[in-house]
A = this chain, B = another copy of it.
Amino acid sequence: MNLKELSSKLGLSQTTVSRALNGYPEVSEQTRARVLRAAEQHGYRPNTRAKGLATGQSMAIGHVIPVSTRHEIVNPIFGDFIAGAGEVYARAGYEMVLTVVDDSNEAQVYRALRARAAVDGVVVHSPQIREPRIALLTDIGLPFVVHGRSSDETAGYSWVDVDNRRAFVRATTFLLDLGHRRIGLVNGLETMDFAHRRRRGYEQGLAARGITPDPALMRSGEMTEALGFEAARDMLAGPAPPTAFLAASIISALGIRRAAEAAGLRVGRDLSIVTHDDELSYLRNGGATPIFTATRSSVHTAGRLAAEMLLQQIGGDVTSPRQILLEAELVVGESTGPAPALARMFDTAKD
């Protein structure tokens, strides 16, 4: 059923039917009602492409998912981010177009999306410290919102990010307050902007107490369980092992816990772990009392906010770039406790 058929069935012109359906005022309320009823009844939906051609809008938002050629890893936060954004798109009548591309020729993909007029805007995922995509998109005039930020980018652009630096300063300080002095960092890939900021937060937290970061206690890479395990295993086997860890995600934290247990250490007593928690739906950090002490910020919410911001931008409601900086909350769970040396002192005192 298309417009032509529907309008001939109604004995009206396509013009009138189109206007009735799209809420234009120059249609009598009576005919509008009649049109709406008929459309409903026949399950009429305007053809997406025809509508797009006519209006010049595609009613679609692009998400380009970079899959690193070396690691072949899909960011685990992706599903939840998409779910958050998808809700917004669905409500607004937008579609979400996904492109999986190996990160070597991402630029091409954006240019193609633009040239083919396939989308009205894009969400930029996983920005690096130096992020050429921002200049590229600005250049070709494709509206965009970045999930995260790019430290080296000076021009204004829209983004939604968590205050990663601050979160890791707080997490570090929290561990220092518990008496930990040797704190291992199992970070994400430090070419990624968020990981870079977390690293800075960690270092600033230590520096504030006059502690120089020990390179032997810092590791970065893709946020997998395996990385967490290997990093923790190696550090724990070192000459001066850490008494606490800072992890970039619950997944790496699970790896750290495995290493701890393999080393005969009890998490929360012999070894403390603080992790960042993206509140992934399939990896909830426990119930009433969290498993891990964590800096927590919902990536689902971030997806929602990014999508809303982008739609506003496309709608022209907003002209200048907007930014949202989300604050991560520090929730205390069962994975942290006083540093072992102190703990022993307490035990002695009690005797």
Contacts and interface: CB of A to CB of B under 8 A. Distances in A.
A268 to B, nearest CB: 11
A305 to B, nearest CB: 16
Given A74-B82, A90-B101, A49 B281 contact: no
Interface in A278-337: 280-284, 286-287, 291
Contacts of A1: 115
Interface in A92-111: 95-101, 111
Contacts of A74: 79-80, 82-83, 281-282
A261 B267 CA distance: 10
Contact of A52 (B49, B75, B97, B223): B49
A238 interface: no
Interface in A204-229: 222-226
Interface stretch (A39-47, A127-135, A192-200): A39-47
B67 A83 contact: yes
Contact of A95 (B75, B83, B90, B118): B118
Nearest to A52: B49
Interface in A67-90: 67, 71-76, 78-80, 82-83, 86-87, 89-90
A155 interface: no
A53 B73 CA distance: 36
Nearest to A63: B98
A58 interface: yes
| Identical copies of this chain, number | 2
Contact of A78 (B53, B60, B67, B79): B79
B283 A115 contact: no
A223 B60 CA distance: 32
Nearest to A60: B97
A115 to B, nearest CB: 4
B99 A86 contact: yes
Given A224-B284, A287-B226, A96 B95 contact: no
B100 A97 contact: no
Give the 5 A-B residue pairs with the shortest CB-CB distance, closest first.
Answer: A86-B100, A45-B115, A74-B79, A49-B49, A49-B52
Given A43-B115, A74-B83, A86-B98, 7 more contacts: A47-B117, A67-B83, A74-B79, A76-B283, A82-B98, A90-B100, A261-B261
10 contacts: A43-B115, A48-B58, A48-B117, A49-B49, A50-B53, A74-B79, A95-B98, A224-B281, A226-B287, A251-B282
